[in-house]
Amino acid sequence: MIKVKQTDNKIVITGHAGYDLVGKDIVCSSVSSIVITTVNGILRLEDTIIYSIKDDTFTIKVVKPTKVNKTLINNMLDLLAQLASSYPDNIKIIK
């Protein structure tokens, strides 16, 4: 299961969806697309976040909150929540 946890200035995404085999997992692909598109969009506009990928953990840290990164990160979290409502056995938003 993929778990998405947000704190004040950090989003941590861990785990594997387990929906299908590697390379065929539409939940994993969707999460990856949503997260990478968001990170790339923010970094193209401003240098206000840092991210790291280690093992099965993707971390986004907001080093300077702005309207742009707040809007894009909230959009990302909304999309992930919609995905979680469709695939509750594969992705969970932790509040």
pLDDT tens string, the chain, 95 residues long: the values are 999 999 989 999 999 999 999 899 999 999 999 999 999 999 999 999 999 999 999 999 999 999 999 999 999 999 999 999 999 999 999 98
Spatial distance between the Cα atoms of 74 and 56, rounded to a whole number of angstroms: 22
Q: What is the pLDDT of residue 95?
A: 83
Exposed, middle or buried: residue 67 (CB in 10 Å: 0-12, 13-18, 19+)?
A: exposed
Which residue is listed with tokens 């992930």?
80
pTM above 0.75, yes or no: yes
Spatial distance between the Cα atoms of 35 and 62, rounded to a whole number of angstroms: 14
Domains of the chain: 2-94 (3.30.70.1490)
2: left (phi over 0), alpha (psi -120 to 50) or beta: beta
